[in-house]
Structure 1
Amino acid sequence: MALTVSHVVGGYSQIPVLKDISFDVRDGELVGLIGLNGAGKSTTINHIIGLLTPHKGKITLNGVTIAQDSQAYKQQIAYIPETPVLYQELTLREHLEMTMMAYDLDQDQAWVTAKQLLKTFRLANKLDWFPANFSKGMKQKVMIVCAFLTQAKLYIIDEPFLGLDPLAVNDLLNLIEERKKQGASILMSTHVLDTAQRYCDRFVLLHSGQVEAEGTLNDLRQALPKAGESLSDIYLSMTEVDRA
């Protein structure tokens, strides 16, 4: 078991956004974190990566909590945020070198991986570019390359398809499949539901800070029999609850 979120209550103030949520992400699987805006997806991610501390409950990654060993916990995670976060004064090459140092990677082997990723995402000739030279989609590709350079145990990907061209989306999905086969665990938040339905092994449906349903698409259909057959139908049924 890679990630276990157990009875977590938390948020940005004393009034909790998350209300006793529990789910897991197992080795070698892609779990889709699905929910309306304000359902608690970003808050959940921020608790997992350590930006927020739960009011109650526990988050463990391969048996380690952030309180027990912050470095060992965080070095298992690679995070791709919805909005790219790059250092304006660093080139692409320097971003990669900083990632290698942060994760204590073997430089020679890391550069082999980096060159493969740079070629895949068509960034190989841009190593000396600064972020100001990149489009939004290219910045997103830089974040993807830095994350998948790490060989992390858990990848957390927040709305990864925004700003990516169709070729880059396909490249990312292939990369996710490759890392799954190597045993990595992936938690992905997305509103691109048709893609999530095709590629995710399981889903966690958040609604108003609670886990509405969890499991495979068939599990969701059984848990919410009136919602519909597709992931999109199930998602839209939650909007109808909010409008009622």
Structure 2
Amino acid sequence: MDRVLSVRGLVGGYSRKRPVLKQVDASVRPGELVGLLGLNGAGKSTFMKHIIGLLLPQAGEIEVNGHTLQSSTEAYRASFAFVPESPLLYDELSVWEHLEWTAMAYGVEEKTFRERAEKLLERFRMGAERNKFAGHLSKGMRQKVMLMCAFLARPPLYVIDEPFLGLDPLAIRALLEQMREEKEAGCGLIVSSHILSMLESYCDRYIVLHEGTVLAGGDAADVVAAAGTPPEGKVEQAFFRLVGGAAP
């Protein structure tokens, strides 16, 4: 499988008369992290909702690990893990119960589940909270639970929306280390974030989305070239140029 995510000619949104996304093409390969960049309202969240099946395309096609939602619904949904911008947990389930529930949903074997769960609890410094109900956790801790559940499953594709919000510096470092490990394991990741300087150190490729269209895509050199900024410039400078702001 040369692509864990393939999006071709995607047109979509909430209204057929006024689509948010207009002929979007994108892909994620195994073992790479793709940064999804864009201003508020660019269509990033709408794009992710189409990938995870909350919105259906008006035109075009989306494949995850070779499956489409229409032809192989169960296999499609089992091929990705989604981490939303705002944590969504069951307040009356504990941290450990969330992990157990995720393992059952993805068919993770008991031995593998316990090994991964213990490692994630240690990495995200949540061991002392394992038996706490989600309703008693801070926002940052709730975000950690969402991340741990996603990484526990180890699907072919991760779809992660603004993961750094609410995390403390140690949790951000743990997240970056975990994403690096997932890449090394052959998983693909597409991550949306406004913290461009942080993404720039970890991304293999980028998608610059603006007003529902892709302005640039490819590695850092491709994005810089598309923006016309100096070849030695950074993606952050190129992004500002592309979306109409002055390059800092």
TM range (shorter): over 0.9
Name the CA distance, whole Å, in 1 between partners of 2:104 and 2:229.
51
- Which residue in the other structure is 2:55 paired with? 52
- Give 1:54-203 correspondences, 5 Å limit: 54-203=57-206
1:135-157 C-alpha deviation (Å, 9 max, x unpaired): 11111110111000001100111
1:104/1:201 CA distance change after superposition, 3 Å: same
- Which residue in the other structure is 2:8 paired with? 6
Gaps of 5+ in 1: none
- Deviation of the 1:241 alpha carbon: 6.0
1:189-212 C-alpha deviation (Å, 9 max, x unpaired): 001111111110000000110000
What SS does structure 1 have at the residue aligned with 2:63?
strand
| 2:238 corresponds to 1:234 | yes
Return the letter of the residue paired with 1:153: P
- Deviation of the 1:6 alpha carbon: 0.4
Whether the 8 Å CA contact 2:91–2:134 is kept in 1: the answer is yes
1:155-212 C-alpha deviation (Å, 9 max, x unpaired): 1111111111111111111111111011000000001111111110000000110000
Name the CA distance, whole Å, in 1 between partners of 2:243 and 2:4.
31
Name the CA distance, whole Å, in 2 between partners of 1:114 and 1:62.
25
Name the CA distance, whole Å, in 1 between partners of 2:66 and 2:156.
12
Name the CA distance, whole Å, in 2 between partners of 1:4 and 1:239.
24
| 2:41 corresponds to 1:38 | yes
Report which stretch shifted further, 103-112 or 190-199. 103-112
What SS does structure 2 have at the residue aligned with 1:164?
coil
Return the letter of the residue paired with 1:233: Q
Gaps of 5+ in 2: none
Name the CA distance, whole Å, in 1 between partners of 2:51 and 2:27.
11
Return the letter of the residue paired with 2:181: E
Return the letter of the residue paired with 2:168: D
Name the CA distance, whole Å, in 2 between partners of 1:194 and 1:226.
16
1:20/1:127 CA distance change after superposition, 3 Å: same
Return the letter of the residue paired with 2:48: I
Q: Which runs of 4+ in 1 moved over 6 A?
A: none
Name the CA distance, whole Å, in 1 between partners of 2:244 and 2:66.
39
- Deviation of the 1:237 alpha carbon: 2.2
Report which stretch shifted further, 94-103 or 200-209. 94-103
What SS does structure 1 have at the residue aligned with 2:128?
coil
1:75/1:214 CA distance change after superposition, 3 Å: same
Return the letter of the residue paired with 1:232: E
| 2:210 corresponds to 1:207 | yes
Whether the 8 Å CA contact 1:227–1:237 is kept in 2: the answer is no
Calculate the TM-score normalised by the size of structure 1: 0.96
Calculate the TM-score normalised by the size of structure 2: 0.94
Name the CA distance, whole Å, in 2 between partners of 1:155 and 1:215.
19
Counting aligned pairs with the same residue, the percent is 45
Whether the 8 Å CA contact 2:124–2:171 is kept in 1: the answer is yes
What's the Cα RMSD here?
Answer: 1.5
1:2/1:55 CA distance change after superposition, 3 Å: same
Q: Select the residue among 227, 230, 242 that pairs with 1:224.
A: 227
